[in-house]
Amino acid sequence: MLITCPYCGPRDVIEFTYQGDGNRERPDPASQNFEAWNAYVYDRLNPAGDHNEIWQHSGGCRAHLRVVRNTLTHEISSVAFVRGDHSSAARRKAEDKP
């Protein structure tokens, strides 16, 4: 499986670390809403198809990435920086893309 890092380009999955389900929404740290905390820790969509995930390019640029991966085919339909867009100096030039 290859993940195309927006900075580094296509890299083997061994360079990446899975950081968990990208659909979770962390409650406010001061929140006493146990149902919200329970949902954050345990509730998962477990879809057969496209799944929002967080990956880190830990063996490369170390950026955290928002990845949409198909759980049936492993096809990756989108990859973006978690932190949002970066300046042109940080992005891959169009001609560098595979």
Partner 1 sequence: MAERQSPLEPELHVGSHGNFEHGVEILLTETRPGSIVQLAAWPGEEKKLIAAIRGVTGLALPDGAGGGLSDGVKSVFGFAPGKFTVTDEAEGLAAAFAKPVTPAIGTVTDLSHGRTAIRIAGPKAEWVLSKFFAIDFALPAFPVGAGRSTTHHDVFAQIQRTGTDQFDIYVFRSFARSFWEALCHASEEVGYEVQ
- The binding site for partner 1 (CB under 8 A) comprises 6-9, 11-12, 14-15, 59-63, 81, 83, 86-93, 96
Question: Smaller CB distance to Zn ion: residue 36 or 61?
Answer: 61
Pick from 5, 11, 30: nearest CA to 82: 5
Residue 86 contact among partner 1, Zn ion, none, beta carbon within 5 to 8 Å by kind: partner 1
Should residue 81 be labelled a site residue for Zn ion when binding is judged by CB under 5 A? no
Characterize 34-58 residue by residue with b for buried, 16 or more Cβ atoms within 10 angstroms of its Cβ, and e for exposed: eeeeeeeeeeeeeeeebbebbbbbe
- What residues pair up with 56 in beta bridges, in sequence order? 17, 64
Should residue 61 be labelled a site residue for Zn ion when binding is judged by CB under 5 A? yes
Q: Which amino acid is at 30?
A: A
Least distance in angstroms from the C-beta of 55 to partner 1: 15
Give the one residue of 2, 4, 8, 50 binding Zn ion; rule: CB under 5 A.
8
Q: Residues 6 or more apart from 24 whose CB is under 8 A from it?
A: 40
Residues near Zn ion, by CB under 5 A: 5, 7-8, 57, 60-61
